[in-house]
Amino acid sequence: MAQRLHLVFGGELVDPSKNVFKDPRNIHIVGIFPNYQEAYNAWKAEAQRTVDDAHTRYFIAHLHRLRDEEREAGPTEELGD
């Protein structure tokens, strides 16, 4: 069974109606989680913690979708080759 990793991250947005970070160097990396449920729980905790700041938003990235397990090496593993 393939591992399904998820990254939870967030930070201050330029405009709450867009997904553009004000300062990408200050993105808060909450963590990498082994399944969607744990990632969702972490996302929800951060979203609730920052609920009063309309410009702060958190996201879940499906890291397992970046890898192509059928290929010998995924496209992100051999950049420049």
Beta carbons within 8 Å of 13's beta carbon, 6+ residues apart: 19, 20, 21, 22, 55, 56, 57
Q: Give 68 or 48, the one with higher predicted confidence.
A: 48
pLDDT in tens, 61-71: 999 887 666 66
| Model confidence, pTM | 0.78
The two three-digit tokens of residue 58, written as one number = 């958190």
* Per-residue pLDDT reduced to its tens digit, 2-43: 678 999 999 999 999 999 999 999 999 999 999 999 999 999
Spell out the domains of the chain, with CATH numbers in brackets.
6-21+34-66 (3.30.70.2400)
The torsion region of residue 29 among left (phi > 0), alpha (psi -120 to 50) and beta comes to: beta
